[in-house]
Structure formats: structure tokens, C-alpha cells
Structure 1
């Protein structure tokens, strides 16, 4: 069966895990090149052992590779700053770009929320690992209530699962995730916090989601949350609610002060999540890695399926 060739820029944790997923799980993609900047990186060594063309000369090295002309979609798993440069060169050559950095040049994309809505855009952004894990829960509350005033997420990751790219993007992580809480999640105001936990043994990815809403009832909110969790589990089997959904009434006598909005009463909903990774590259505690690469793969696979269907027709 014909497949679409892809390239991955970034031979670190995310890029290497994504490469393995493409080779093991993708229905419509095949590896065309793995691109890094460290000739001694484990990702490039693994790619070479798997007979994937490699270069340690970054985007410029990719442009010189014979395989480049056959590559139609490129995943960028570098950093927000590097993506600005990479994207400009790839767009010049008409490549489809799946952005796994917080650069947010293209539209935010979370498979269970807006799926294929932006799939034909030249660049689509996968938000952040914390965003992929938590914003579906915020959206689940939004669709069950009259007004979603506020959404806040706290993403706790094992320090060992955060490579140099993640660490270089902490500020962009909070800014991009906060913005996506509003744009995709539907909250009038969003806030994101990331915690790198150095505990040993490394803990599983844990996420806490808080929302403040008005209208709707608890049963409808809880049903919507469970339905959304099941939808995410279709591509991230280790995604699960850690505890029952918690509710607290915020009365008019003690309203919460929401920056930019003012004092608001309503229903506070708390969702506690755990994300266990598939351990394709890093151990299972790195659910942050797994949900990001899984979401990117689903998005690119759907795009490739559409392209191949059009060519056959």
C-alpha cells in the first residue's frame, strides 16, 4: 500500500518516540528522514539502525538530502524559536508541517476537539503536552454548561521525561497552553502551570484541571467528561481519570476573583488525570511524551489518508 513519506526534525525524546510510532503504528506514513543537530544523539543512532536516512546538520542538512524531495510532511520537534526558521524553509518548498513546539504559528489542533478542522492548513500546531492532556476536559465542561468563565490546568511531569527542548520552552508552554484553553477549551480566561518533578522513582504524568462555570448540572458535566476521556483513550490508552470528578458550589456570598473578569460565582469542577505512556521510547511514566506524539501522529495520518484518497480518485 502506498504511503506518504515524512521527516522528523529533532532527534531528542519527542522526535525519537514519534519515529518509533510512525514505524510501528502509522497506516499512511513512512519514515523518510530523521534530522538532528547532535551526531552522537541516541535518536539518530536508532534511526540509522532502522535504515532511516539521517543528518546531524539540522534543517539545512535536510534540504540537501536526496530523500527531501519525496518527503511531503515534516514534524518539527525542536523548540519554538527554531521552528520559526524551520517552518519558513519548509513552507517555501510546499511541505506540510506538524508543529510539536509551542511556537503556535498554525492553528491549535487537538484531535478530539477540532480533529480535521484545520487539517489542510500548511502548518498545524499541537499546542503542548499539557494542553493535549487537559484541554479536552475543559472543552468537555464547556459543552455541558451555559458559560465557562475560567479554566486552569496544572501539569506535573517527571523531570526525566523533559528533555532540553521542553526545558527551553517553559515560558512558551504556559503562554501557548493558556491561550489554547481559551481558543479550543472555550474558557473566557485560561491559565496554565507546568511542574517538573525530580522525584525518584519518576512519577507518572499527572494533571489537574479546574473550571468555573455557570448553567448546566453536575450529572451532565460528569457525563461529558467521561465521554471525552473515552475519546482520548482511543489514541492514548493510558489516559484516565485518577479520581471521581469533584464539584464545589461557589456562592454569591464568597465569589472568586477572576483576573480580567471580576468576581464570579458558579460551579467549580475539578478533574484529576493520569497519563501513562505506551513506552515506545521512554518508560511509561513519560505520558507527556506519549500524548503529544500520539496526537501528532493521528493528525498527520488523517491528512495523509486524505491526500492518498484524492490521488487515487
Structure 2
């Protein structure tokens, strides 16, 4: 039996997520689409599809007769709006999947730590850059301790809507934090680039990790772990792939300034991984892989959350 879902946020991300729920899963059923702009395309499309809608935000959602049947609520608004929404929904015992950088609940990256947070009432999907790169950092860290992890997420400026632009600071802070808390790096840094190129480029992500000097055999193990993790992520984000083979370059004391005090030997290997994410074009264009990876990961998380609830109930 499928669980009823609501989406708060009728913009690009929320609308894409609505189509994914309708097309890709039998574990969830679209129940309500929530917005604040009565003229938004997302609300109009939901209404045409026979889905209950409200343009009165979270308060309108709570007041709807269908609200009692909702089990999972996705929040695709902004960090500030999610803080308000989470507080308003707290008394009702719904599962919240947060696609903003608000980070009220624990960070969740499906291929890394989903099973650790199945009992959480509010889970945070980090950021698009985090969903694309943290699986790789965690894979490297599974083979050798990562002293420093740096990611650069390059996305088309056309795929960065008002919410993304308003949350740029939260993006870098949230992703940097999750590189450490989820990816396992001792320290981390995140950079986002909005590329205005025409035609629009698909999402590109670069992962740079500093680890202790690796032998050839250790490099092979790291590369294999990265390839395996990329395959796993591609299981729920079909457009996610390695752009080229994993690269290794030996470094010396010149990079010690990036290594936390008390760690490292003075001899390091830089592991470089180059990724790209092509969108599935359910609603968004193919170049908007940054948004597609967020909705795909959120869908995977919600499916697991409701499956767990059914397992507990039985």
C-alpha cells in the first residue's frame, strides 16, 4: 500500500518531484501540492492532474481535509521557510524530507548513511553538490583516511532559481559540514559555480581529497571503491557518472596547510574525481542535473522511510 505524500514548494524542484512520484514509484502517492503563488505552474499542473492543492503555504496544508492521510512531506522551499514549516508541522508526527539547506534534521545521503537515520522525523538532503560528491568522499574514506576534502559544483546559471541563489551561503556551509559529518573527511570545503554558458552546461562536480601517500595497490583499491559507489548512486540517479578515470598525484609538505593539525605525515596523494550529472527531464531540462539529483535522492529516502514504517507496523 502506497503512502500519501505532500510537497511544499510548487517551483521547479517541487514540480519535478511531483512527476517523479507519479512516474517512478509505487511506494508513494501524490496527495497534496502546496505553494504560495496561486499562479505558479506547479500548482496549475497539479490541479490539472487531479491532485489537491493549496496556495496558502504550510498553514493551508494543515487546514486541508486530506492532511490527515499524509505520511511524508517534502519541503522544496528555502532554508528560512523550512524552519517555519518544520515548527508548524512538528505537532502532527509527519515524516519531513527537507530539500533545503536548513539542516534541522540529520544530513542524509542515500548511498552513504540512510540506514542510520530511518527513525528521524526530519531528514535533510544536504545540497545538490553534497548529494553528488559526498558518496565519492565516503568511498575514498572507506579505503584510506581523508584528511581534506574539497568539492566544486558547477551548474548552469539557468538551473539556479531564486531559492538556490538566496541560499548560496547556506549551500557552502551545509555542504562543507556534510563533507565531514557524512563523508568522513577531517576537514572540508565546498565551492559552487554558476556558469552562464550557452547552451547551458550539465552539472559538473570535482572532488579533491588529500590522503596519506598511496601505493599503486592502494590507488587501485580507492579507484575501485569510487567506481562501485558511482554505480550505486546511478541506481537512483541514472544521469550520474564518472567523467574520466580517477586521478592520483603525489604531493608533499606544500599542501600541509590544508591538513588539520596533528594529522598527516608530510607525504600525501591527491585523489581527483570528475563527475557529471545529467537530468532525467521529467519536468526540468536535461542540463538541470543539480536539481534532478536532489529530487531523485529525496524520492529514494522517502521510499525507504515509508518501507521502514510498514516493516515496523507488521
TM-score (norm 2): 0.95
Determine helix, strand or coil for the equivalent of 1:115.
Answer: helix
Aligned partner of 1:68 in structure 2 is 67
Aligned partner of 1:240 in structure 2 is 241
Q: Work out the CA distance in 1 between the residues paired with 2:232 and 2:247.
A: 21
Runs of 4 or more above 4 Å deviation:
none
Q: Work out the CA distance in 1 between the residues paired with 2:130 and 2:261.
A: 23
Aligned partner of 2:191 in structure 1 is 193
Q: Work out the CA distance in 2 between the residues paired with 1:238 and 1:83.
A: 28
How many pairs does the alignment contain?
Answer: 309
Please say which of residues 164-173 and 174-183 is displaced more in the overlay. 164-173
Aligned partner of 2:285 in structure 1 is 283
Q: Work out the CA distance in 1 between the residues paired with 2:219 and 2:260.
A: 26
Trace 1:212-291 onto structure 2 (pairs within 5 A).
212-214=210-212, 216=214, 217-252=218-253, 254-258=254-258, 260-261=260-261, 264-291=266-293
State whether residues 147 and 259 of structure 2, in contact with CA within 8 Å, keep that contact through their aligned partners in structure 1: no
Residue 298 (structure 1) shift: 0.6
Listed as ranges, the gaps of 5+ residues in structure 2 are none
Of 257, 275, 300, the match for 1:298: 300
Q: Work out the CA distance in 2 between the residues paired with 1:309 and 1:255.
A: 49
State whether structure 2 residue 50 is matched by structure 1 residue 48: no
Q: Deviations over 1:43-98 (max 9, x none)?
A: 11111111111111111111111111111110001001111110011111111100
Aligned partner of 2:208 in structure 1 is 210
Determine helix, strand or coil for the equivalent of 2:116.
Answer: coil
Trace 1:18-97 onto structure 2 (pairs within 5 A).
18-97=17-96
Listed as ranges, the gaps of 5+ residues in structure 1 are none
Q: Work out the CA distance in 1 between the residues paired with 2:181 and 2:87.
A: 25
State whether residues 153 and 208 of structure 1, in contact with CA within 8 Å, keep that contact through their aligned partners in structure 2: yes
Q: Work out the CA distance in 2 between the residues paired with 1:37 and 1:244.
A: 45
State whether residues 147 and 186 of structure 2, in contact with CA within 8 Å, keep that contact through their aligned partners in structure 1: yes
Q: Work out the CA distance in 1 between the residues paired with 2:159 and 2:242.
A: 21
Determine helix, strand or coil for the equivalent of 1:257.
Answer: helix
> RMSD of the alignment, in Å?
1.4
Residue 306 (structure 1) shift: 2.1
Q: Work out the CA distance in 2 between the residues paired with 1:149 and 1:265.
A: 12
Q: Deviations over 1:119-166 (max 9, x none)?
A: 111101111010000011111110111x21000000011111111111
State whether residues 213 and 250 of structure 2, in contact with CA within 8 Å, keep that contact through their aligned partners in structure 1: no
